[in-house]
Structure 1
Amino acid sequence: MGRRIVRLAFFLVVSIAFLSFASRVNAAVTLLHEFAGGPSDGATPYYGSLAGSGTKLYGITYAGGSAGLGTIFSMNTDGSGYSILHNFAGGGSDGATPESTLVLSGTKLYGTTFVGGDSSLGTIFSMNTDGTGFTLLHEFAGGASDGSKPAIGGLTLSGSVLYGTTSLGGDSNKGTIFSMNTDGTGFTLLREFAGGASDGSDASISTLSLDSGVLYGTTAQGGDSNKGTIFSMNTDGTGFTLLHEFAGGASDSDSPKSMILRDGVIYGASFSGGDSNFGTVYKINTDGTGFTLLHEFAGGGSDGKWPFIGPVISSGVLYGTSVQGGDTNAGVLYQINTDGTGFTLLHEFAGGTADGSSPYSHPFWMSYNLYGIASAGGDTGNGVVYSYALPVPTPVPTLPPLSAAGPSVCSAQAPSSAPHLLKADAFNNSVKLYFVPAGEPVDRYYLAYGLTENNPIYGFEYYQADNTGALSLTIKALKSNTNYYFRIRGGNGCMPGAWSNILRVKTGFGGSQSATTFVASPTPTAASINVNPTSPIPTAMPVLDDNQSTDSGTLGFWGNLCRNLKLFFSSIWQFFVGFFKRY
């Protein structure tokens, strides 16, 4: 009888673990670093989200370091290479207790500290990404002519100008909006909040978004109900407008946090409001119309509770965190589509030595991975850096029109010359290539590309009806902030021609939707570029080498199978660990 009970218990455990895998196949996060505190490491990374580029991440901790007043750190995206770049010391010559997200621009980092500086009311600083050149650009003095206690949301960079907010300071001591050059000159108060029904107050967790010379942001208080506002303002300080005054309750939000702007729509989160008063995710147009609650947090094991900061966005999906909620009420990582559908808990933090807890900051999206910090959890309870792998979409090409039947022009000879890639326009998730055609006889082209120069792992064949003038094609669903190496060659019914030159292109990242142009070197003389109309073709297939058949899909199948098996066994292992810890 005892053996039967043991076997039954084992069967139930495995079944439950499998069901958990089936419903939350990507539920596990990877801990990249567990903060140890003390003089040699940071501790309690509260509000500042990570910044990064390529394979590097940068972040701040509120405490820890040689003076116990916080640190700036860097690390690789795989968790290796962790390094303290700066230990805050406070006083008149340094900042202390940093809470905001760093801004990364080339080899420069910009950020703020909540206290420190001559008046101990906070600072703005810059530093090289290797830790050298730390400089205080501004020391807040408070009062009517300066801000005080800079916002947790951090700075916004446009060209050589930084924009930000403070929670206090200004004429009414209810916070300010400021601008300043990146060299520390030209500090200007653009707005001094007055509170009340016609103004905002306390921009302590605001992150400004900039679009076409207009700044958008939030205040945690102010407006008719004193429950916060969304505002817009020109970068010269004129045209201040309240776009929305929060009223709280079941049909609105209360105490809005940071927001993000994309394609004329503002997306944000509030700490409270909604049916359960546990916070919301909302959207609103930049003209103040169309305010909509996308999600109302309910707490408990199947939802989040109290989002402390707004979400980030990528490819029509919002990603964010809440401080509480989930099975152990230690916070969640969630996603939701921009139309309000598809709300999913990606991870429920469990705390303890094997997980983080209380994530106050939003995740940082880069190359289909979410990187984030939790303020507690890990071996010493001082917080963690984590990563979460998102599914990578299959690249989808948009190509010139197919000829009616894809006619062959086979004449027992290869195209007489190789095509030449002229330039590429790179967007966040797509690249448009322009090239000089291959020499006749040609009726089709083969594009190959990959993440390194000599290893093209994707590609496709398409028919080209018109082989005159300069040609173009667009590849969509690419990873943002990623280097791609493109090459192309012509072909016909008999044999392919020589490959073109290789053109390296880096896709964009962030809120900007404008193209970055990459030009081949040397650039050949060619006709003016005539953009052909585009239409889709069947799904692209991998190209590994010149001899591979285009019907091969083995690599993607086995890669996905291995990944899913790994996640499956990881889910089983985590269930066993949790089960035996409890019982």
Structure 2
Amino acid sequence: MSFSVSRAAPWRAAAWLAASTLCAAAPAMAQTKVSDVQLTMITSLRPAGDDVTTPDGTIGWSGARYPTSPPLYAVRPGSSAGYLYGGFNGGGPTALATDMYTALGMYSMRAGISVYERVAYNAANDLHGRISGTPVKSADGSLYSVMTSINGEKYANKTYASDISYSPAVGQGVIIRSDYDGANPSLVAGTRGQLYSPNGALLIDAKNNLYGVDKGPKGQGRIFKLDIATGSVTTVHEFTAGPSGMKQVANDLTLGKDGVLYGVTAYNRGLPLAPSTPTAVTTPTGTLYRIQPDGTGFAVLHTFILAEGEINVHDNASSEGFVRFPSGIPYEPGVTAGGDVTNRTLGAGQEHSLSSLLDGGDGYLYGGTSVGDCYVHVTSTITGTIIKSITRDNPACGARKWAPSATLSYAVKGLPYYDGPKPYGALYRIAKAGGPLQILHTFSEADGATPRGPMALGADGAIYGTTMAGGGNVCTPSSAAANSEVSCGAVYRIKPAGIVVNGNGEVAQGGFELVHAFSGRDGRKPVGLRAGADGRLYGVTAMGGHYLNSAGQPVATDYGTVFQLAVDSDGTPRADASLVASAGEIKTGEVVSLTWITSRAKQCSAASTAKDWTGAVATQGSVELRLTAGTYRYTLTCEVDGGVAGAQVSATTVVYVSTPATAEDGNEVSFGNGGGGPLSLWLLAPLGVLVAWRRRVARSPKTLD
């Protein structure tokens, strides 16, 4: 079951690979710092699949990299099983097939130990790019996502062909719609040319209206509304410049339990450590506001100052590239003069994520402050060059620590590379009715650094979130130079019941606990959490991870992970099995691969009506098959490890070869693949309304006019 464009893989001599061919990430259950929470890495993204093959010959896994936001949890029609849908840095056409990926930018997987898939890139509509926010689900089951091109602003209003980092169809940003399973992605036509680098924030209300955030026509931030029935975009509110002309940057948006929109904005005070950047603790750094969905009742509940921390100033949508400092004029060789330039990129795992809010349901809004800019000013000693770059990544945002260099003189020696009083960030709450800001916790790096991304309310009533760095563990990225390790990031929680405020209104106890410190093996640089309807929380790390190679040995990767957080003592992952086919419909002579992975399972066996995949198999692996015309059903059955005698889990998928895909009731269906866990038999059941999995690229995409 793969969303990737089908390509016939080289045929192997045998009809199926040895059962010992392991290619899936082993379930990585990590010990947390608290006894009632369990974190499990449920998949690790990797450089494999249709257009990239790993050196060890791994097959069956689509190439994907750098997930950008926590996934949406949704139940598919006709099934009780939950699925996850999330975004990553997809790319367009490229000749460098061994190094790059051609993909829409969305993945899908079962909400458990599972094989992930990616949505196919369709050259006919050229939709590819960065899906930087969590998709939302409408009343009819459709999924909506914000898509941007990393070089969208660079090539705006220019004639430029589609490539790995730019799509003319996407431009500076659009909203795409897909079926409930991610199939048939199409452009919501009314958004083309109407959005200004949307930052990925997207939510939907009970009336099926979409709300999002972009830069707006004046570049200071805007809340927009999309009527999905008509495809029309309208402005709910447009922000203006901040104090002293500082640029205002709108961040994440949340819909409170009272039906009111809440959000935060940043005031960009300048590049940290630059001589011209103000450092007075009273410097305003952003706002917390509320507004009615119809645009009325706008009010600022709080104005942040540097003493309290900052709000993210990155747009989360496009690469800034080389920009003259401090004017901000784009540098173009041969067009603008040389000199000092900054270079803020967005791509290779450099997800900066947004500052977010959460309605705790107790009358308070919860959020976090951090460093505002994930880049800092350095002084280069390089001479004789046309330009001089004066920016470096801040390790507090999960970037690797700067290795010693003879060409750079740092404004400060050692960590933290920052000029504010809260270098690692803080957590706060504020009453929805207004009132003083209460600082609940100030991070120390050992317990986390730079809280960013969505927060989630756990089944235990605690508020969970992530920090992009810190936590006490050190990661060594594969590309890191000597002495340039980075702290891996953390999961934290706030227990509202544990917050104590004294008679002076000061927080005596903030209810803070460090829940989990990432190790790199289970990911690094987490970027938020979302709650699932199954009572568990789901998140991603932008980088890190591992998988097992064909010899069963762990291979470290740096492409990101998807993880599950079980709270309230429900920590043990359920026994599960996932079996997917690279295509559900193929032609005679084409090759199809089966890929499977299990959790808490043993003694697995394979069966097929084609009798080409039978007998004992490993608990995870892949096999390639070449089939004659017909309909073939494949089943994986395993014993539950540690379960009662006879307890089993199973997964089934069906492959149609040069024959119409039909259900057992004779109705013709069109679906590219099947599979996925013990409940997957619904695909062949005579349902009243059969919901097909439509993943064939050849199908005409839907477009909303």
TM-score, normalised to structure 2's length?
0.43
Deviation at 1:128?
1.4
Which residue, 262, 271, 285 being the options, matches 1:163?
A: 262
For the residues of structure 2 that align with 1:146 and 1:183, how far apart are their CA atoms?
Answer: 27
Residue 177 of structure 1: which of 288, 313, 327 is its match?
Answer: 288
Between the aligned partners of 2:233 and 2:203, the Cα distance in structure 1 is 14
Question: 366, 390, 401: which is aligned to 1:216?
Answer: 366
- 1:199-238 equivalent positions in 2, closer than 5 A: 199-203=308-312, 205-210=354-359, 211-221=361-371, 225-238=422-435
Q: 2:298 aligns with which of 187, 197, 200?
A: 187
Question: Which protein has the larger Cα radius of gyration, Structure 1 or Structure 2?
Answer: 1
Query: 1:28 aligned to 2:224?
Result: no
| Corresponding residue number in structure 2 for 1:149 | 249
The alignment partner of 1:299 has SS state of: coil
Structure with more helix by fraction:
1
Residue 77 (structure 1) aligns with: 180
2:368/2:451 contact within 8 Å kept = no
Corresponding residue number in structure 2 for 1:312: 531
Paired letter, 1:271: M
**What is the DSSP-based 3-state SS (H/G/I as helix, E as strand, rest coil) of the residue aligned with 1:69?**
coil
Deviations 1:237-279 (A, max 9, x none): 2132111111112x44444433122454110111000122110
Equivalent residue in structure 1 for 2:520, among 294, 299, 308:
299
Give the direction of change, closer, same or farther, for the CA distance of 1:314–1:218 in structure 2 (3 Å limit): farther
Residues 211-233 of structure 1, C-alpha deviations (whole Å, 9 max, x = no match): 23321111223995321111111
Q: Show the 5 A alignment for 1:255-266.
A: 255-262=451-458, 264-266=461-463
State yes or no: 1:45 paired with 2:130: yes
**For 1:34 and 1:12, how far apart are their aligned partners in 2?**
26
| 1:89/1:254 CA distance change after superposition, 3 Å | same
Match for residue 115 of structure 1? 215
Paired amino acid for 2:527: F
Report whether the alignment pairs 1:97 with 2:318: no
The yes-or-no answer on 1:57 pairing with 2:143 is yes
Residue 281 of structure 1: how far off its partner (Å): 1.0
- Which one-letter code corresponds to 2:309 in the other structure? G
Q: Which residue of 2 aligns with 1:550?
A: none
Please give the alpha-carbon distance, in whole angstroms, between the structure 2 residues aligned to 1:264 and 1:42: 40
SS at match of 1:74: strand
**Alpha-carbon distance in 1 for matches of 2:429, 2:130:** 30
Q: Deviations over 1:432-461 (max 9, x none)?
A: xxxxxxxxxxxxxxxxxxxxxxxxxxxxxx
Contact persistence 1:123–1:138 (CA under 8 A): yes
Q: Deviation digits for residues 397-445 of structure 1, max 9, x if unmatched?
A: xxxxxxxxxxxxxxxxxxxxxxxxxxxxxxxxxxxxxxxxxxxxxxxxx
**Aligned-partner Cα distance in 2 for 1:13–1:338:** 38
Question: What is the aligned partner in structure 2 of residue 515 from structure 1?
Answer: none
Residue number in structure 2 paired with 1:333: 562
Q: Is the 8 A contact 1:66 1:87 kept in 2?
A: no
**Aligned-pair Cα RMSD in Å:** 4.4
| Distance change >3 Å, CA 18–CA 146, structure 1 → 2 | closer
User: In the alignment, is the contact (CA less than 8 A) between 2:545 and 2:560 conserved in 1?
Assistant: yes
Q: Structure 2 CA distance, aligned partners of 1:182 and 1:48?
A: 20
Q: Does 1:137 align with 2:236?
A: yes
Amino acid corresponding to residue 235 of structure 1 in structure 2 = K
Unaligned segments of structure 1, at least 5 residues: 1-6, 348-353, 355-387, 392-556, 569-583
- The match for 1:14 is 19
Question: Secondary structure of the residue that 1:336 maps to in structure 2?
Answer: strand
User: Cα 1:85–1:226, aligned 2, differ >3 Å: closer, same or farther?
Assistant: same
Output aligned runs, 1:520-559, within 5 Å: none
Structure 1 SS opposite 2:19: helix
Deviation of 1:292 after TM superposition, in Å, equals: 2.1
In the alignment, the residues of structure 2 paired with residue 305 and residue 341 of structure 1 have an alpha-carbon distance, to the nearest angstrom, of 24
**Residue identity matched to 2:241:** G
Note closer, same or farther for the CA distance 1:84–1:238 as it changes in structure 2 (3 Å cut). Answer: same
- CA change 1:228–1:83 in 2 (3 A) is same
The answer to whether the Cα contact below 8 Å between 1:126 and 1:135 also exists between their aligned partners in 2 is yes
Q: Give 5+ residue unaligned stretches, structure 2.
A: 1-11, 29-41, 43-111, 150-166, 270-281, 314-353, 373-419, 475-486, 500-508, 547-556, 577-581, 583-595, 600-646, 655-673, 678-705
State the AA in 1 paired with 2:536.
V
Q: How many residues align?
A: 348
* Amino acid in structure 1 at the alignment position of 2:117: T
Asked if 2 retains the 8 angstrom alpha-carbon contact of 1:334 and 1:346, the reply is no
Aligned 8 A contact 2:264 2:311 in 1:
no
Contact 2:138 2:208 (C-alpha < 8 Å) held by counterparts: no
Aligned position for 2:492 = 282
Check the 8 A contact 1:103/1:157 in 2, yes or no: no
Q: What is the CA-CA distance between 1:178 and the residue it aligns to?
A: 1.0
Instruction: Say whether the 8 Å CA contact 2:575–2:649 is kept in structure 1.
Output: no
TM-superposed deviation, 1:71: 0.7
Q: Deviations over 1:317-362 (max 9, x none)?
A: 2211111112332111111222698598999xxxxxx9xxxxxxxx
CA distance in 1 between counterparts of 2:203 and 2:523 reads 28
1:82-125: CA deviation from partner (whole Å, max 9, x where unpaired): 331146566xxx431112331111343333333222x2222111
2:438 equivalent among 238, 241, 259: 241
TM-superposed deviation, 1:185: 1.6
Deviations 1:496-528 (Å, cap 9, x if unpaired)? xxxxxxxxxxxxxxxxxxxxxxxxxxxxxxxxx
Residue 433 of structure 2: SS of its match in structure 1? coil
- Aligned pairs for 1:167-566 (under 5 A) are 167-168=266-267, 172-196=283-307, 199-203=308-312, 205-210=354-359, 211-221=361-371, 225-249=422-446, 251-262=447-458, 264-274=461-471, 275-276=473-474, 277-286=487-496, 287=499, 289-300=510-521, 303-327=522-546, 328-338=557-567, 342=571, 560-562=650-652
Residues 101 and 206 (structure 1), Cα distance of their counterparts in 2 relative to 1, 3 Å cut: same
- What per-residue deviation string (whole Å, max 9, x for no partner) do you get for residues 517-545 of structure 1? xxxxxxxxxxxxxxxxxxxxxxxxxxxxx
- TM-score, length of structure 1 as denominator length: 0.51
**Is 205-214 or 318-327 further displaced after alignment?**
205-214
For 2:85, the equivalent position in structure 1 comes to none
Helix, strand or coil at the partner of 2:305: coil
Aligned partner of residue 201 in structure 1, secondary structure: coil
State the 1:58 CA deviation.
Answer: 1.0
Output one character per residue of 1:172-225: Cα deviation in whole Å (capped at 9) or x when no partner.
4512111111111222111111022xx131156232211233211112239953
Post-superposition Cα deviations, 1:61-96, rounded to whole Å, max 9, x if no partner, equal: 023464611111111122344331146566xxx431
Q: 1: distance between equivalents of 2:27 and 2:267?
A: 49
CA distance, structure 2, for counterparts of residue 14 and residue 309 of structure 1? 37
Distance in 2 between residues matched to 1:102 and 1:124, nearest whole Å: 10
